[in-house]
Amino acid sequence: MEQFLVANQWVILLIIAWTIFWKGIALWKAARNTHKRWFIALLLLNTLALLEIIYIFIFGRKKQLREQV
């Protein structure tokens, strides 16, 4: 596996870009929704963007839906 990653460094760069993109959106939404605990968890935990995607599509929408009703 290590030889594969050394030979194909673009894979690492792709993973980093993927994670930074989703982390940025999730952190922005958490800050906007004043979810301090989510913001800290998203900032400190690296889950290859899985936690960030869950937050964005499940927990990040609660405040927006309440405002529309």
- CA torsion sign for 22, 29, 24, 26 is negative
Residue 28 has what pLDDT? Answer: 96
In this prediction the pTM is 0.76
- How many Å apart are CA 1 and CA 47, to the nearest integer? 20
Structural domain boundaries in the chain: 17-68
pLDDT tens digits, 9-47:
998 899 999 999 999 999 999 999 999 999 999 999 988
Residue 69: pLDDT over 70: no
Q: Note the pLDDT tens digit of each residue in 46-62.
A: 888 999 999 999 988 76
